[in-house]
Amino acid sequence: MFRVAVVLLDRPDAPAVQEDFEKLESLKLKFKDRFEWATGGRASVVFMQGIASLQVPAGQPLDWMEIASRFHETHPDAYEFLFLFDTFTETGPSLFWSVRNDTLGIGQELHDDSELYGSNHVLLGMTHLKSIRLFDLSTPETTEMHLNAMLHEMVHRWCAYVDYRDENGELSQDLRNPMDGFIHWSKFMLGGDIRSVMGGMSWVPAGDGAWLAVPGDPKKGLAPIDLYLMGLLSPEEVPDMTLIVSDTPQEEVNVGVLVTGYARTVSIGQVIAAEGKVTCLPDACIPDCGGKTCGDDGCGGSCGGCPVGMLCAGGQCGEPCGDIGTQGCCQGAVLRKCSNGILWIEDCGLSKNGPYCVKDQTTGIHGCSPEQTPADSEACPGR
């Protein structure tokens, strides 16, 4: 189950009206049915009750982090997806922003930027579906087109970013379409019984090594590879995929085009060989190297190493302590102290606790102090 909130953005020069909200409520019901159909009942969406409304200033680019943060100021942090519509965008494609990825094996790095969007590790992504006033729900054909777009942007959370290893063990990007940054399935991927909203086309053999691109069902769904990447199918449930290998550039491929090529079979095992098995990790380890120059990233990886002769402690590189102990010593106004096996140096003259380097007469520990007591500190060995 995925929880979704719908947010309507308006501006002083394009205020929201009742018809906008009514159309969005209708879309919610239609999309709920479409998503359950596309996933074969394996998953569902639950929409927030009502429509959230936010006004944005005219003449300024939309700031998605600010919009999400404003939403979370007045609504529960309980939604994996925010579907954004507006009242003023006239042209341009719909878009998806990945906020958090906790899934291995989908061709995307693990990351969690949710706090920048006002969410506490809940929000997965945001879609901007442009102006609700461009959505024509008066005919089945236009309605299917809009539902395809909504499903397409939501599924960009998982697809289509994977490669596969060919029969020689070489990494191949042929599953993906290079025309738009390799984020959709290749036009040469055969659509099969269900055309994926993430790409691919319907093809029929035309004899003598030729293939003809033919119209497909306008109601697009999710292919087995999509469902696998979403964690809804096991590898064993994913049938082999078929790619047409052709020299025809994909930008020249549309319905009615005849190409010459041959069929290549790609198995899910070849995808796993390239990307690893899809593993959904609700508590995925997100590498953290913030403020670190060395040491463990918290997930078994490294934030970097130290130059020869230096050691790492607390994520920072430092000199070995040598003869200086944990109680420290003073070199004039400079404090030197051993901590976790490396030498920490602080200029008390620049410290907020300074400007003097002194020894505490009770504990024997050296530190920075605003007052100096005569002969109460120990000079550093060899300094």
Any domain includes 24 = yes
User: Does 201 share its domain with 94?
Assistant: no
User: Does 182 share its domain with 151?
Assistant: no
Domain that holds residue 27: 2-155
User: Does 94 share its domain with 8?
Assistant: yes
Per-residue pLDDT at 154: 97
User: Does 20 share its domain with 137?
Assistant: yes
Angle between helices 140-155 and 18-38 (to 10 degrees): 70
Per-residue pLDDT at 230: 96
* Residue ending a domain, choose from 216, 246, 280: 280
Per-residue pLDDT at 148: 94
Instruction: Give the H/E segment covering residue 214.
Output: strand 210-214
Structural domain tally of the chain? Answer: 2
Instruction: Give the H/E segment covering residue 3.
Output: strand 2-10
User: Does 36 share its domain with 131?
Assistant: yes
Q: For the whole prediction, is pTM greater than 0.85?
A: no
User: Does 116 share its domain with 169?
Assistant: no
For residue 74, which phi and psi values (nearest 5 degrees)?
-120, 0
* Helix runs in 187-253, H state only: 224-229
> Taking the CB of residue 265, how many other CB atoms lie within 10 A of it?
10
Per-residue pLDDT at 282: 65
SS3 of residue 176 by DSSP: strand
Any domain includes 27 = yes
User: Does 118 share its domain with 205?
Assistant: no
Any domain includes 138 = yes
User: Does 110 share its domain with 197?
Assistant: no
Question: Which residues share a beta bridge with 204?
Answer: 212
User: Does 146 share its domain with 168?
Assistant: no
Any domain includes 302 = no
* Integer angstrom CA distances of residue 381 from 133, 227, 328, 336, 340: 77, 66, 10, 10, 19
User: Does 147 share its domain with 8?
Assistant: yes
What is the b/e burial string over 33-59, where b = at least 16 CB atoms within 10 angstroms of the residue's CB?
A: ebbeebbeeebebebbeebbebebeee
Any domain includes 288 = no
User: Does 183 share its domain with 229?
Assistant: yes
**CATH number of the domain that 46 lies in?**
3.40.390
Q: What is the pLDDT along the chain (383 residues), one digit of tens a residue?
A: 899 999 999 999 999 999 999 999 999 999 999 999 999 999 999 999 999 999 999 988 899 999 999 999 999 999 999 999 999 998 878 999 999 999 999 999 999 999 999 999 999 999 999 999 999 999 999 999 999 999 999 999 999 999 999 999 999 999 999 988 899 999 999 866 567 999 988 899 999 999 999 988 888 899 999 999 999 999 999 999 999 999 999 999 999 999 999 999 999 999 999 999 999 876 555 667 777 888 887 766 677 778 887 888 878 888 888 888 888 998 888 988 888 788 888 899 888 888 989 988 888 898 898 888 755 667 787 65
* Residue ending a domain, choose from 224, 256, 280: 280
Q: How far, in Å, CA of 105 to CA of 278, rounded?
A: 4
Residue carrying the six token digits 């996933």: 39
Residues 6+ apart with CB under 8 A from 69: 116, 117, 118
Q: How far, in Å, CA of 300 to CA of 295, rounded?
A: 10
Any domain includes 350 = no
User: Side chain identity at 79, as an amino acid letter?
Assistant: Y
* Residue ending a domain, choose from 258, 280, 302: 280
User: Does 21 share its domain with 128?
Assistant: yes
Any domain includes 254 = yes
Instruction: Give the H/E segment covering residue 65.
Output: helix 64-74
Any domain includes 26 = yes
Q: How far, in Å, CA of 203 to CA of 187, rounded?
A: 10
Q: How far, in Å, CA of 125 to CA of 104, rounded?
A: 16
Per-residue pLDDT at 296: 81
Angle at 101 between CA 95 and CA 106, to 5 degrees: 85
